[in-house]
Structure 1
């Protein structure tokens, strides 16, 4: 079973919070897949990752760029994993199938959006029933605090 962390964004946008988590993923020697809700979010996130300041360099790709097996971070609107990533970043509204193939899953959701919070609660119940190990993290002024 996978270890699934729910990351409740309360202070920043996804585009501001995600680079630090991805940087830690790369520092741990891992590869990541980021499942977006649609092609527009893939494009938006691609642009945001190129502009990230900390860490300064987040090498990544998507289907439009190609070279999937060589990409340490893969952006997708589907369930493809061409880079053999063991870490999955599941963005609010992203594809939720195939979770068992990942060691760690990071589910990020906007705490200021009642629908996103509701979807996260529903997913929490589903994956808990499936037997995954769960953790809840809430964004603080500086970093994340684990709750529960």
Structure 2
């Protein structure tokens, strides 16, 4: 199980998340996107339809279509109704249920850095969990820092 911590500094979630989602879907995988607030889920739903003029990323919110066939599913909790093996926690809140997936992407900003550090430390002793910390360099590119 791999957990990737993404510290959002220069690049906001609305630019980072579609890149991750595209890579997961292009590799044949499925992604569950978790955000507790309905307004954030609605914004993500709109974003994934419109983030780039030439892109198409099929997705739905939990319960709004046939969840089982969705390559990307947006949900309020860690409920992989689409049988995803990848989960993106996008509201800055770590959930231990993410450890049931093959890979977790934990996005957080400076407002949630304390919680992210606590999650990082808590996962240090978990058997079978590989942690990676991604930060942005001066050019805005992601680089692995730990």
Q: TM-score, normalized by length of structure 2?
A: 0.90
Q: TM-score, normalized by length of structure 1?
A: 0.88
Contact 1:8–1:138, Cα closer than 8 Å, also in 2: yes
Deviation at 1:95, TM superposition (A): 6.1
Q: Hey, which bits of structure 1, 4+ residues long, moved more than 4 A?
A: none
Contact 2:71–2:82, Cα closer than 8 Å, also in 1: yes
List alignment gaps of at least 5 residues for structure 2: none
- 1:135 counterpart (132, 135, 143): 132
Structural RMSD (CA): 1.7
Deviation at 1:147, TM superposition (A): 1.0
Deviation at 1:37, TM superposition (A): 2.6
Post-superposition Cα deviations, 1:61-105, rounded to whole Å, max 9, x if no partner, equal: 112522100100000111211111000101234461422321111
Deviation at 1:13, TM superposition (A): 1.2
Q: Secondary structure at the match of 1:4?
A: strand
The answer for the alignment partner of 1:86 in structure 2 is 85
Distance verdict in 2 for CA 1:138–1:55, change over 3 Å: farther
Aligned length: 144
Deviation at 1:36, TM superposition (A): 0.6
List alignment gaps of at least 5 residues for structure 1: none
Distance verdict in 2 for CA 1:43–1:94, change over 3 Å: farther
